[in-house]
């Protein structure tokens, strides 16, 4: 399943606190090939259309899509026509409650082609996204088959996009910091090296709880490696979403998760 001599793992645990803990039903892969239990569906690279906020890791709670497009990205808050990977293979192990997908940057079929061409940088990344359910928890890891080049260290990370309309006025908790998802994007920002506005995360930490006050939307994301950063992706892109991002940690051969 894994090839090559180098494995770099980004690890996330996602807890769905909105699901009744006394319910004995656990997440399992259904006949349609995605994780399911009452009140929760988790899809893994179905309907792959990242430009339209579709594909990657997608989470639906009580019939509402709350998160999507969970995948590696080259930017904190990428726009619609910025580099996206090419999906190569998807494998489903129903008995093991495990789905994994192999992807690669760049996608040569999109590089400087078409009506809205994508300009890919000089970067090659071959990786596999693993998603496995454990009870009511999703464990996600990303394996890279080679070390990240030094110029891309601390630039490549795993992004999970949060649908903003559902979250307006809802709160978040990240370590000791709390806040509200605003209806209007208003920072925080800073001037980048190219004098363009760059987003500053609302918060950073290894554990983030989204909408703790909502019994239907409460969700906790935990990173066993690099911190989670919560961004407002609407600042530079009017079709942006809120984004949870964890960077690829440089110089680490393996990050182990303890559930």
Q: What is the pLDDT of residue 110?
A: 82
Q: What is the pLDDT of residue 22?
A: 56
Q: What is the mean pLDDT, run by run of 10 residues, along the chain of 259 residues?
A: 42 72 81 95 90 88 93 90 92 97 91 82 92 92 84 89 96 96 86 76 95 92 92 89 89 40
Q: 56 is written with which tokens?
A: 């990657």
Q: What is the pLDDT of residues 113-171, one digit of tens each?
A: 877 788 889 889 999 999 999 998 999 999 888 878 788 888 899 999 999 999 999 99
Q: What is the pLDDT of residue 17?
A: 66
User: What single DSSP character describes residue 54?
Assistant: B
Question: Which residue reads 């494998």 in tokens?
Answer: 91
Scanning the chain, the segments in alpha helix (DSSP H) are 164-167
pTM to 2 decimal places: 0.89
Residues forming beta bridges with residue 125, ordered by sequence position: 105
What Rg do the C-alpha atoms of the chain give, in angstroms? 18
């Amino acid at each position: 399943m894994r090839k090559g001599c180098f494995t770099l793992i980004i690890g996330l645990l996602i807890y769905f606190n909105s699901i009744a803990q006394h319910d004995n039903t656990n997440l399992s892969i259904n006949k349609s090939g995605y994780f399911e239990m009452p009140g929760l569906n988790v899809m893994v690279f179905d309907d792959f259309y990242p430009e339209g906020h579709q594909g990657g890791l997608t989470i639906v709670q009580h019939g509402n899509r709350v998160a999507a497009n969970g995948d590696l990205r080259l930017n904190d808050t990428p726009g619609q026509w910025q580099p996206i990977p090419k999906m190569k293979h998807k494998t489903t192990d129903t008995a093991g409650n495990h789905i994994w997908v192999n992807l690669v940057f760049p996608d040569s079929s999109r590089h400087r082609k078409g009506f809205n061409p994508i300009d890919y940088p000089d970067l090659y990344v071959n990786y596999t996204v693993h998603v496995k359910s454990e009870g009511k928890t999703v464990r996600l890891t990303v394996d890279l088959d080679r070390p990240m080049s030094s110029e891309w260290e601390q630039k490549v990370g795993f992004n999970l996009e949060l649908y903003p309309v559902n979250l307006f006025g809802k709160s978040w908790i990240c370590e000791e910091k709390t806040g509200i998802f605003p209806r209007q994007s208003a920072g925080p920002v800073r001037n980048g090296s190219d004098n363009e506005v760059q987003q500053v995360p609302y918060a950073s930490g290894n554990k983030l709880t989204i909408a703790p006050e909502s019994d239907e939307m409460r969700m906790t994301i935990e990173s066993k490696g690099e911190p989670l950063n919560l961004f407002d992706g609407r600042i530079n892109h009017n079709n942006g979403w809120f984004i949870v991002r964890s960077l690829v940690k440089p110089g680490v051969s393996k990050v182990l998760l303890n559930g």
